[in-house]
A and B are shown apart, each in its own frame.
Chain A
Amino acid sequence: DVVMTQSPLSLPVTLGQPASISCRSSQSLVHSDGNTYLNWFQQRPGQSPRRLIYKVSNRDSGVPDRFSGSGSGTDFTLKISRVEAEDVGVYYCMQGTHWPSWTFGQGTKVEIK
């Protein structure tokens, strides 16, 4: 199975400051169709997960543009340009390239300092 490794696992951030989460995969996530199926999810406390980003860098509808995704191959990053209070929660990367065994990263907890 493909292993997804996130860092850091805990990320205290000051309001208004940027935040960055890294996600590395044990194998390349480039699919034979040319796409890279790397998604990012946000899970606020007590809520179901919400998809933020699909295929590395595509923001889902309703996701603020302060969230951005980038990367290629085995190295990916989620950035929040200016953290707001509502961004508190746990963020997960997930690979959908090596289906049907999709795998998530361990999660990164974002909290306000």
Chain B
Amino acid sequence: EVQLVESGGGLVQPGGSLRLSCAASGFTVSSNYMSWVRQAPGKGLEWVSVIYSGGSTYYADSVKGRFTISRDNSKNTLYLQMNSLRAEDTAVYYCADGELFYWGQGTLVTVSS
């Protein structure tokens, strides 16, 4: 059974940083392309970033230059490093496989002073 478990969310001040993790089981992160998708409170879904099996990475314009997607193959874990956080980054962040078939339960990031 495939499981994706996010962690690392929390309350952070504007301008601060946070690193989200997504631990996978029953599924090999390095062999698949993986995405982060977020959902602001009461709002719709927004694609954030993708990393391909070859290592190429892409970002939504709203986070480009501030967020970095990466993975640790030995830990079978996906990451999202978020810097220079803004109030508008407040959202539940989901990790998912590249096909958006498997999703985690999400982790809440709140950017507020």
Contacts and interface: CB of A to CB of B under 8 A. Distances in A.
B44 A104 contact: yes
Contact of A92 (B35, B44, B61, B105): B44
Contacts, number: 48
Interface string B53-86: 0000010110000000000000000000000000
B43 to A, nearest CB: 8
Interface residues of B, number: 18
A1 B61 CA distance: 10
Contacts of A43: 45
Most buried by B among A39, A102, A107: A102
A39 B44 contact: no
Interface of B: 35, 37, 44-47, 50, 58, 60-61, 94, 99-101, 103-106
Interface string A81-113: 000000000101010000111111111000000
A26 to B, nearest CB: 16
B47 A102 contact: yes
A104 B103 contact: no
A104 B105 contact: no
Contacts of A49: 37, 45, 94, 100, 103
